[in-house]
């Protein structure tokens, strides 16, 4: 998830500008599948940035402690 361009989707903890576009990732995986059998795929650390910021905000409130 960290390799995806944040201008298209922010779906992980790490955000690096100018990452791969979703269409590029799909093309790369499809190209690999033409040469070799893909038997698994891992989506690692999906974490919406908004959820992180809300959690951080709530942790600073006396309601959640």
The structure tokens listed for 20 are 């791969």
Strand partners, 46: 12
Give the C-alpha separation, 65 to 57, whole Å. 12
Q: What's the predicted TM-score (pTM) here? A: 0.66
- DSSP string for residues in 1-40: -TTB-TTT---BS---TT-B-HHHHHHHHHHHHHHS----
pLDDT at site 23 = 94
Q: What's the Cα-to-Cα distance from 37 to each of 8, 33, 42, 63, rounded to whole Å?
A: 28, 6, 15, 51
Per-residue pLDDT of the chain (65 residues; tens, 9 = 90+): 778 888 888 776 667 788 899 999 999 999 999 999 999 988 777 777 777 888 888 888 887 55
């Amino acid at each position: 998830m960290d390799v995806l361009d944040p201008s298209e989707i922010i779906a992980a903890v790490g955000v690096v500008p100018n990452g791969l576009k979703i269409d590029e990732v799909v093309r790369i995986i499809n190209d690999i599948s033409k040469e070799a059998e893909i038997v698994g795929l891992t989506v690692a650390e999906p974490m919406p940035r908004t959820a992180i910021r809300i959690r951080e905000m709530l942790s600073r409130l006396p309601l959640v402690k």
